[in-house]
Amino acid sequence: MLKGIPLDSPLYEVDEERGIEYRNCEAITGFFTIKNDVEDLLPEGLKPYSKPAQGGIWISHYSFSTVGEYHEYLTVIQVEDEQGDMGYYIPYIYVTNDSALAAGRELAGAPKKLANIGLVKEFDVVMGYLERPAGKRLVTFVMKPNTRAMGEMIDFILPKPTYLYSVRHLPPIKGKGGVTQLVKWYADIDFHTDPKGERVIFMGPGNITYDSPSVIDPVHKVEIDAFMTAIYFQFDMKLGFVDILREY
Amino acid sequence: MAVVFPSKEWMEELHKKVNADEEYKKVAANWEGDYLCVVELDEEALKDFQNPKVLKGFLGMLDSIPKEKREKFKGTPSEKLLEALGLSLDANLSEVNVEEIAKKIAENPDKILEAAKGATLNIWMDFWHGEFRNIEVAAPGEHEDAKFKLIGPYAVFKQLVMGKADAITLVVSGKLKLQGDMGYMMRNMATVKKFTDLMASIPIES
């Protein structure tokens, strides 16, 4: 077991073999080309997968996980690592639960912060939002899931496993004990299937707005150029760890 | 200027439009490779072919295939379709009486649709480092080794051409099937989007 602190009552306990397990989740993701140069957002060892660079936003609700129930927001940049694998680097990630926050930061280096995140359905629209603090709306993502996504391209956008990258950083104290590492981890997504055996993935028109940019949480630094696709899906998931790719 | 889809004029307009676009040149600077679009002729196609102008455009496209290559149509559903329309592969398809044939389709849509089952209109397009090098109508079996093959019903291609849906949406939804190096495609989605945006910006004569 990978355990956090306090040692006698850890905030998280993760089975290294099984990873962090999730059940009955739903998410919306938007995929787009990025207007600005992302080189300065990427750590050494990763390069943009495409030119122009592509990225995405993921807003989800996990109704059950082994680190608890929570909402999550991610900004990702599609990258290629030195092993030639495609994956997503996470410059910004927010959660609504302290156990997920601690596990993500300590084990994978995911730069998680707590925020107010929602994934709501109203009328014919699914809306995800990120606020920090509550009321300061950083991102709104709306989409209308009106068409089944049956094509194989989804499996290239979110392959199994989908590699994720983050920089795990522990500042040194008086020059000792510091760690800065590029961590490769993964999400193994199992899309739910309906009674007909079709995957529960829907697509439709959508858009993302950076409503009220904040210098404290600069998610708007990943500028959206051409919006490619928006999908809504229901799924189970496992998060696990691949390797430490680099020590800086 | 509005053009008929499908037609040679549409192909020429697309070729001209893409090559004149500076932004496309920039976005597609790294793109290398060709596409074979396999347009499956469906009920919507047969409905459109009842319009003599559209039928003329379609037959004009087929007529652009050199006669020596038309042998490749022998025994294919496309040959059966032409036969059902009272046409032969040797005919000068640009000069047939389209009003008469359109009327024939309108009078027997089910029979012609049955004959059209499996018939396709294949369009080959070649792109290289920001240049749209070539577009032509392909005979069955030609350019099968294209880097990408995009397959789907006429009605769906028409949505794409008329800008009612974009290529990425149609591929992700599975309405258009894309075969080829998907990793390469993933790296070049901006190129695909720009190309299809340009395609959709061509006014289509109804």
Q: What percent of chain B has pLDDT over 70?
A: 100
CA–CA distance, A29 with A74 (Å, rounded to integer): 9
Q: Which residues of A touch B194 (CB under 8 A)?
A: 226
pLDDT for res A183: 98
- The mean pLDDT of chain A is 96
Name the residue ranges covered by the structural domains of chain B. 8-200
Domains of chain A in start order, with CATH, are 19-247 (2.40.400.10)
> To the nearest whole angstrom, how far is the Cα of B8 from the nearest Cα of chain A?
30
CA–CA distance, B149 with B166 (Å, rounded to integer): 17
Between A236 and B87, whose confidence is greater?
Answer: A236
Task: Please name the member of B27, B30, B193 whose beta carbon is closest to the beta carbon of A228.
Answer: B193
Contacts of B12 (CB under 8 A, 6+ apart): none
> What's the predicted TM-score (pTM) here?
0.90
Asked if residue B206 has pLDDT above 80, the reply is no
CB A131 within 8 A of CB A115: yes
User: What confidence category does residue B67 fall into, taking pLDDT thresholds of 50, 70 and 90?
Assistant: confident
CA–CA distance, B39 with B41 (Å, rounded to integer): 6
User: What confidence category does residue A109 fall into, taking pLDDT thresholds of 50, 70 and 90?
Assistant: very high
What size, in residues, is chain B?
206
How is residue B141 written in tokens? Answer: 């079996």
Q: Could you tell me which of B120, B103, B142, B95 has the C-alpha nearest to residue B45?
A: B120
Asked if residue A211 has pLDDT above 90, the reply is yes
CA–CA distance, B191 with B124 (Å, rounded to integer): 17
Task: Please name the member of B177, B186, B188 whose beta carbon is closest to the beta carbon of A156.
Answer: B186
Q: CB of B177 within 8 Å of any CB in chain A? A: yes
Q: CB of B183 within 8 Å of any CB in chain A? A: yes
| A152: three-class secondary structure by DSSP | coil
Asked if residue B48 has pLDDT above 90, the reply is yes
Task: Please name the member of A147, A156, A225 whose beta carbon is closest to the beta carbon of B173.
Answer: A147
User: What confidence category does residue A50 fall into, taking pLDDT thresholds of 50, 70 and 90?
Assistant: very high
The hierarchical CATH code for the domain B8-200 is 3.30.1050.10
How is residue A108 written in tokens? Answer: 């994978």
**In sequence order, what E strands does A35-124 have?**
46-48, 54-65, 70-81, 86-95, 112-114, 116-122
Asked if residue A235 has pLDDT above 80, the reply is yes
- The mean pLDDT of chain B is 93
Asked if residue A195 has pLDDT above 90, the reply is yes
CA–CA distance, A31 with A55 (Å, rounded to integer): 6
pLDDT for res B91: 84
**A224-247 and B32-40 beta bridge pairing:** unpaired
CB A109 within 8 A of CB A89: no
What are the CA-CA distances from residue A27 to residues A73, A128, A145, A227 (Å)?
A: 10, 9, 11, 18
Contacts of B71 (CB under 8 A, 6+ apart): B89
Angle, helix B77-84 to helix B109-116, in steps of 10 degrees: 160
For Cα atoms A119, A122, A126, give the angle at the middle one, nearest 5 degrees. 45
Q: CB of A143 within 8 Å of any CB in chain B? A: no
CB B11 within 8 A of CB B135: yes
DSSP conformational letter for B130: T
CA–CA distance, A91 with B93 (Å, rounded to integer): 59
The rounded Cα A141 to chain-centroid distance in angstroms is: 15
> To the nearest whole angstrom, how far is the Cα of A33 from the nearest Cα of chain B?
7
CA–CA distance, B195 with B183 (Å, rounded to integer): 18
DSSP conformational letter for B166: -
